[in-house]
Amino acid sequence: MSYQEFRKLTPHDTFMSGENLSYFVGGYFPKADLMRILRRGMSIPSDEVIASEFPTVKQRKGMIPFLTLYSRCKNVREHVFDGTVRPYLEVNFFFPVIYSRDGREPERLCSFMPLLYLDRLFQTIGGIALGLRKEFHPKLRVAEDDAACSFRIPNILNSSFPGSSLEEADEIDPFFAQIFTKPTLTYSYFHRTDFYTTQVFNIKNIYKASADIEWNYKDTVIKSDEHTFCNLAEYTFTCSRAMGYNNYFHPEYPVDWSQITGQ
């Protein structure tokens, strides 16, 4: 990217892009346990907000829906310095949360990404420098045969996706698509609250799938059940640079959510 092109960039323009093959898994997390990991300014959306913003999701007492992405990532490119990294594995999580900076600012529905698991050290360090809360897990493995595909991290994550459950689908579940129409919110190792614009598009080769999941996070064990829902799909993603509150919501850099959501 030339210096002239760099000067024309707005904070919401693409900083990173790539191509993923991912299992999208929808599940439910106990609200009381989520409260323990939320940071200053974050709160759990009301049932009314969830029903309005994610109308297809089943409401469960004391639970909040969330998305997990189990991804094989390739052609991931950082656009400013024009560098492409080698393929890697990534598991990340998105929770709907309300963010209000000081109680006087508007309440904003965001998609909170508390952490990411990766199998490559370089990508982990690079992500941390960009404000993402990444964890390096060299024992993160994916295994696939005719029977199933699995992602595993010993003592943390055990997931399996039976191949026999795959059924062709026209689109991913609406909840998964709607998660990416909200500002992505993170809390970095540097104790910064950062915002990103994340987009997922060119979604293809979509399948409905089933998932057998056990995830141990901060002494909360989440297991799949009859309410778990899942898609397998290929797609392109883009991500902006990390921004503070003032930059992200600055009127000079508005996000065209109609372009992102297609509405």
Between CA 97 and CA 258 the distance in angstroms is 21
| Tokens matching residue 165 | 């459950």
| Tokens matching residue 74 | 């390739």
Q: Collapsing DSSP states into helix, strand and coil, what is residue 164? A: helix
Residue 175 belongs to domain with CATH number:
2.40.400.10
b/e string for 195-204 if b means 16 or more Cβ within 10 A? bbbbbbeebe
Contacts of 225 (CB under 8 A, 6+ apart): none
Helix spans in the chain (H)? 3-8, 31-37, 47-53, 121-129, 174-179, 245-248, 257-261
- Domain count for the chain: 1
| Tokens matching residue 215 | 């995830």
SS3 content of the chain, % helix, strand, coil (to 5): 20, 45, 35
Q: What is the pLDDT of residue 254?
A: 67
Q: Using alpha carbons, list the distances in angstroms from residue 239 to 47, 140, 183, 195, 201.
A: 29, 24, 11, 10, 12
Q: What is the pLDDT of residue 6?
A: 52
Let me know: does 70 contact 91? Beta carbons within 8 Å: yes
Domain of residue 80 covers 3-261
Q: What is the pLDDT of residue 125?
A: 86
DSSP characters over 31-76: HHHHHHH--TTEEPPPHHHHHHHSTTSPP-TTEEEEEEEEEEEEEE
Q: Per residue in 178-236, pLDDT tens?
A: 999 999 999 988 889 999 999 999 999 999 999 999 999 988 999 999 999 999 999 99
DSSP characters over 210-234: --EEEEEETTEEEE--TT-EEEEEE
Q: What is the pLDDT of residue 258?
A: 59
Between CA 86 and CA 92 the distance in angstroms is 18
Residues in the chain with pLDDT values less than 50: 3, 262-263
Between CA 157 and CA 213 the distance in angstroms is 8
Q: What is the pLDDT of residue 263?
A: 45
